[in-house]
Chains A and B, each alone.
Chain A
Amino acid sequence: MDPVNGLLNGFAVALQPQNLFWCFLGTFMGTAIGVLPGIGPALTIALLLPVTVYIDPTAAFIMFAGIFYGAMYGGSTTSILLNTPGEAGAMMTALEGNRMARKGRGAAALCTAALGSFVAGTIGTIGLTFLAPPIAELAFIFKPQDYFALMLLAFLSVSVVMGSSKVRGFIALFIGLSLGVVGIDKAGGMQRLTFGVPDLLDGVEMTVVLVSLFAIGELLYVSSRYGKQMPNLNPLAGGIWMTREDWKRSWKPWLRGAAFGFPIGALPAGGAEIPTFLSYTVERKLTRHPEEFGHGAIEGVAGPEAANNAAAAGVLVPLLTLGLPTSATAAILLAAFQNYGLQPGPLLFINSGDLVWGLIASLYIGNLMLLVLNLPLAGLWVRLLFVPRPYLYAGILIFSLVGIWGVSNSWVDLAMMFGVGCLGYVMRVYDFPIAPVLIGLILGPMAEEKLRDALAAGQGDPLTLVSTPLSAGLLAIAFLVVTVPALLQWRRSRRIVEPADAE
């Protein structure tokens, strides 16, 4: 079946009333779990797996896909309004989004996030419809050295642009890298920084650090400042809709975000985080309003949020076309397929065309539903900030604790939550950027693993790291990212002696 016919067929399936209902249910649940810290789509779908016994596969997958997409949408809401991202993919959204909310532009931030998610999600789904087979092949083309170069690039580029000073940025990054090495070393079996605590053998749970640094740190910070300075912001000061200017500044980041998110999401070690980091960096470099970054630049919300959602579509590419699960959520979806005796892969499109195309069509519909669900709600969500702070933050604390407990039922995680939360507070007080900690924690172990994979396969020859065109190219760009700003600064300092109109 060719894509166009398949898709038309799929719409006939997805538009049946009962499937529309499942799609709505999925997107609604997904939005809710995206808002809650700690509880992600993988866990939710895993918990819902038993229901697959009672409903037919098409309905189940339409619902699961709705959850998956919905979670990506929901994550942005709490990031923007409360500076408490629920998922790693929403972390970059918090940086600029929360600043916008503090300036009374929360509704505009939510709108650009929702519209960007819709645009990028739709582009990603179009990519899934028409480009799935060739994009899936990327998985086989990417070698460990290419991943390593990609991660190094994400790493360096983010560290260079983030924070008020490079020293603070690097300190934060190295805190993250240290947290990242905790646990059993995958290749050699050595225990690193575990201090004999069995719960630390598998390393530090990323969600714990994410929620603690952002939510707990924010909570401590706000409550420590509450007495001195009553918050008297009007969350609606900036109106409830995007201005013409906002539109003009948003549409390009949406498209660029989608361009990062979709292909990287389709890679086995890609995921949703790397594209959001890259998108943020690129927007910060390309913007005409660099002075606004760090103080609520709309591009910094539009780009990462779009990248995040396009990556979600990307993840489905290798899953559906090759049967390769490239993320935790995809692995659970694969288990769900197998529950029905279905094996994703090329044959799935032939044997279960109705299901696959129904699923893909439901992604278009789900995206639209999410937009309809979220856009009018943006003005409503913003009113959440009218809730008096003590109630609001007490609620966040409860949800965070429940969320972290739900991840692994581990008291060590709870203890760590308070430790890391205090660290987050101190970092806020002394103006350290928080995102590099998480970037170090997420990318550090991945980069280490890929570096070791590449070197092991190349029997220790360091030249293997630049042996593919892609790795050499990416490393060259990473090198430029570090050296060019330094070079520009040097030229600028020389130019001071020349007339000022040279600028």
Chain B
Amino acid sequence: MIRTIFAAAAAVSLSGLAALAEPAVVMAPGGAGGGYDATARMPFEAMAADGIFTDGATFTNKGGAGGTIGLAEFAGANQGNDNAVMSMGVIMVGGILLNNSPVTLDDVTPLVRLTNDTGVIAVATDSPIQSVEDLVAAMKADLGAVSIAGGSAGGVDHIVMALLAKEAGLDPAKINYIPQESGAESVVAVGGGAVMVAVSGISEFKPMADAGRIKIIAVTSEGRVEGIDAPSLTEAGFPVVVGNWRGIVGAPGMSDAGKAMWLDRFTRMHEGQAWKDILAKQGWEDAFLAGDEFAAFLDAEKERTAAVLKDLGLIQ
């Protein structure tokens, strides 16, 4: 931490450019090997490979409470540091509300959205529910009887089902949502018949569906997804578009020059071959959105998440 304080001091005392010729200070608000970790490290790998930013980076992993502990530490230590960035995503948007975090995303500088993992709804292959229509009919018949496995309470998977229930004219707070520790547990729960429906990201469920373990009945993108034989919820008549997106934010009070510099770096990185290779290797969906457009998107996500969590009774 001392290093980041020095870096912050350096950034204040020296003129902008001189301070920037040192390693970037990067926070990954999750454990090593997780989604936030990869979202923090991979862009720097790509930028180094394409010669966009070669000064290196010092990474700090700080997980916990939906990423809000890392967020608080990042915001506290890097006030006005043009050299500090952090990976984040939609889970953090909900995590801030659920954990009642004193530091929020209003305190940091939105830079770019990089990737997305579209959600999917799946059932057992021999389930009586074989389509979105079947699912909604079953929910209308007896909402409590449709047990749903997914990620943490109030996370993207929960939000998908809450929005679907709302679109179908049902009370989202009454859905029988059972949070699981991991996507793997959701797969066995639905594949083994312990629950009727499971929600997770494509990256986690597609291999299981390809192996014939579960059947995907819907995706949560706007249109269909190549390689998956299932309609989007929108196509099935329930306009619910939810993605587990991830991106990068800058330090609190980042200068306009610093912001412009990072946007330029990420934009060039996005066009480069190294990033394309990383997307392919990691199985990530490209969801690049930069600057003001990302800030507007982030505001919309915050608003929607807050509304859904309120409907679910998870926050006041």
* Co-complex (A, B): yes
Decide yes or no: A144 and B32 within 8 Å by CB, A187-B179, A268-B184 being known contacts.
no
Residues of chain B contacted by A341 (CB below 8 angstroms): 281
Residues of chain B contacted by A292 (CB below 8 angstroms): none
A324 to B178, CA, bound (A): 19
Decide yes or no: A184 and B184 within 8 Å by CB, A140-B192, A331-B33 being known contacts.
no
Of B62, B147, B180, B315, which contacts A409 at CB under 8 A?
Answer: B62
A201 to B179, CA, bound (A): 17
Decide yes or no: A338 and B191 within 8 Å by CB, A46-B33, A198-B69, A198-B72 being known contacts.
no
A454 to B152, CA, bound (A): 17
Pairwise interchain contact B192-A143, C-beta atoms closer than 8 A: yes
**Chain A contact residues: helix, strand, loop or mixed:** helix
Pairwise interchain contact B153-A188, C-beta atoms closer than 8 A: yes
Expressed in whole angstroms, the minimum distance between the Cβ of A87 and any Cβ of chain B is 17
By beta carbon, the residue of chain A nearest B66 is A201
Residues of chain B contacted by A325 (CB below 8 angstroms): 182, 184
Pairwise interchain contact B62-A408, C-beta atoms closer than 8 A: yes
Pairwise interchain contact B207-A343, C-beta atoms closer than 8 A: yes
Expressed in whole angstroms, the minimum distance between the Cβ of B237 and any Cβ of chain A is 28
Residues of chain B contacted by A141 (CB below 8 angstroms): 192
Expressed in whole angstroms, the minimum distance between the Cβ of B111 and any Cβ of chain A is 24
Is A186 at the interface (CB under 8 A from chain B)?
Answer: yes
Pairwise interchain contact A49-B33, C-beta atoms closer than 8 A: yes
Of A186, A324, A343, A345, which contacts B179 at CB under 8 A?
Answer: A186
Expressed in whole angstroms, the minimum distance between the Cβ of B40 and any Cβ of chain A is 13
Residues of chain B contacted by A140 (CB below 8 angstroms): 188, 191-192, 213
Pairwise interchain contact A322-B211, C-beta atoms closer than 8 A: yes
By beta carbon, the residue of chain A nearest B64 is A202
Decide yes or no: A324 and B195 within 8 Å by CB, A408-B64, A459-B176 being known contacts.
no
- 14 interchain pairs, CB-CB under 8 A: A46-B33, A142-B188, A143-B192, A144-B189, A184-B65, A198-B72, A323-B211, A326-B184, A338-B283, A339-B281, A346-B211, A409-B61, A457-B195, A459-B176
Interface residues of A (CB under 8 A from B): 42-43, 45-47, 49, 139-144, 184, 186-189, 198-199, 201-202, 268-269, 318, 322-326, 331-332, 335, 338-339, 341, 343, 345-347, 408-410, 449, 452-453, 456-457, 459
Interface residues of B (CB under 8 A from A): 31-33, 60-65, 68-69, 72, 98-99, 101, 144-145, 147, 152-154, 176, 178-182, 184-185, 187-189, 191-195, 207-208, 211, 213, 281-283, 314-315
Counting from the closest, the 9 A-B pairs by CB-CB distance are: A46-B32, A140-B192, A201-B65, A46-B33, A457-B147, A324-B184, A189-B314, A139-B188, A332-B33
